[in-house]
Amino acid sequence: MGKGMSLQAMELVAERFRVLSEPNRLRLLNLLREGEMSVTELTLACQASQPNVSKHLKLLTDSGILRRDQRGNTVYYSIIDDHIFKLCDLVCDSLGERLKAKAELFATV
């Protein structure tokens, strides 16, 4: 983040992190990383209720991360902001490094 970032910009960044702070939403994003899926497919893959999955999909769509495409009676979702995966990969890499360092520390004790 830049030094001169406005409060409004910081609030937008905080909102994006808030959207990504829920494990079920991360799971949905991970499933959609492979490509478009229907609500039914996502519900089965997550082993969650359809209303719960739909709630998370709506939030991800409203935040500009997902696209919603209705074809007949079926609704499909896909990723429209690929930057999300770069951010998730950075966080996962950082956590992996921290866990590796902790494991090495305990291995020497």
CATH of the domain at 15: 1.10.10.10
- For residue 89, tell me if it sits in a domain: no
Q: Which two tokens stand for residue 5?
A: 């970032």
CB 57 within 8 A of CB 69: no
Q: What pLDDT tens digit does each residue of the chain (109 aa) get?
A: 557 889 999 998 899 989 999 999 999 999 999 999 999 999 999 999 999 999 999 999 999 999 999 999 999 999 998 888 888 788 888 888 888 877 877 876 5
Contact 67, 61 (CB under 8 A): yes
DSSP assignment, residue 109? -
Give the span between the Cα atoms of 62 and 80, in whole angstroms. 12
Q: Model-level pTM? A: 0.79
Range of the domain at 43: 7-81
Which amino acid, 38?
S
Helices (H) and strands (E) in the chain, counts: 5, 3
Count: domains in the chain: 1
Measured CA to CA in angstroms, residue 87 lies from 25, 54, 70, 84, 108 at distances of 14, 23, 28, 5, 32
Residue 23 resides in a domain: yes
Q: Give the largest CA-CA distance in the chain.
A: 62
